[in-house]
Amino acid sequence: MKTTNKILVISFAVILLTILTLSILGIFLMRDKDIIVQGQIEAEEYNISGLLPGRIEDIYVKKGERIEKGDTLVHIISREMLAEYEAQKSLESVASLQSEKIDAGSRKQLISIAKELWDGAKADLRLAKTTYERIKALYEDSIVSLQRRDEVEAIYKSALAAERAAYYQYQIAIEGAQEQDKASAKAMASAAKSNSEVVKALLNDSKLISPISGEVATIALNEGELSSIGTSIMTIIDIENPYLVINIREDLLKNFKIGEIISCDIPALALKDVSFTINYIAPLGSFATWKATKDSGGYDLKTFEIQAIPTIKINDLRPGMTCLIKIDN
């Protein structure tokens, strides 16, 4: 009997101890755990697009190749733009020759006409002067009236003024063509030159230059294929400036502030507690990551994009790598 009671007491104690242990373990397991959020390394992409229609003559880089800012990436041959350039150069030559003609060839004609007018005015002046001197002498001998002398004198003075005017016109013709004609011709030549320079500038765009130092991510077209204006030929990734992107539920957003430093693990590089500085938090929430149900109640939770940049350069860090951020719950 005593043995039986002893066994019962021991059994009861074991059961009580087990219940106590399970209770303690349950309390421990039910404590709030830290939340792990997964983010991703990203980098800016730059589309390299054609600036004029044509055929891709040369591609100087390969996919995955590291390039420097200012490197020549693609050469496009545009037959249309070459033809347009030649046409504009021809127009420029014609306009320039026309301007020279106004200054040279037409000036000879103007000089000839002005010389004839001046010669005629000089002949009229000589006749008027001779007539005036003769009538003046007759007036002094009281052979003609004062009125007649005055009439001849007026004709003489008019002829003198006409000769002076013709002479000045002749001098103007010698000095150059009329200013209006010269200005018009020069304006035409200048406009033609400007048009040819515009086309030449477009031809300079036939060689596409890298705007950044980075890595060639994709090449969409091959040598020999046609490219139109705005068509993406390749993309360049700014591999030198990667950044972290994470999407945070709105109920956890209070843990993040612009300018603060967060730590994350990068499994691919076997790195822990890597520091990033938050430089962007989206002003608007995006899609719902957690939907409320009748059973759970509550409300839908939106996510907010957060971006952060490394506080120091991290070797071998590449877009697409996973980052794990621990958030205290």
Whether 5 is in a domain gets the answer no
pTM of the model: 0.56
pLDDT digit string, tens, across residues 173-190: 776 655 555 555 555 555
| CATH code, domain with 321 | 2.40.30.170
Do both 59 and 112 map to the same domain? no
Please check whether residue 24 is in contact with residue 316, taking contact to mean a CB–CB distance below 8 angstroms.
no
Residue 199 one-letter amino acid: V
Report which residue type is found at 193.
K
User: How many domains are there within the chain?
Assistant: 3
- The predicted structure's pLDDT at residue 183: 56
In a domain, 22, yes or no: no
From first to last of the 329 residues of the chain, give the pLDDT tens digit.
Answer: 555 556 655 666 656 666 666 665 555 444 556 788 999 999 999 999 887 778 888 999 999 999 999 999 998 877 665 555 555 555 555 555 555 555 555 567 777 777 877 787 788 778 778 878 888 888 888 876 776 677 777 777 777 777 787 787 777 777 665 555 555 555 555 555 555 565 565 666 678 989 999 999 999 999 988 887 778 999 999 999 999 999 998 888 998 999 999 999 999 999 999 999 999 999 888 766 655 554 555 678 889 999 999 999 999 999 999 999 988 76
Residue 50 domain boundaries: 45-77+206-237
Identify whether 222 is part of a domain: yes
Q: Establish if 120 belongs to a structural domain.
A: yes
pLDDT tens-digit series, residues 48-86: 988 777 888 899 999 999 999 999 999 887 766 555 555
Per the domain annotation, does 13 fall within a domain? Answer: no
Token pair, residue 76, equals 């496009």
- CA–CA separation, 232 vs 219, rounded Å? 9
Q: Give the pLDDT score at 30.
A: 47
Q: Are residues 247 and 196 in the same domain?
A: no
Taking the C-alpha atoms of residue 67 and residue 48, their distance in angstroms, rounded to an integer, is: 13
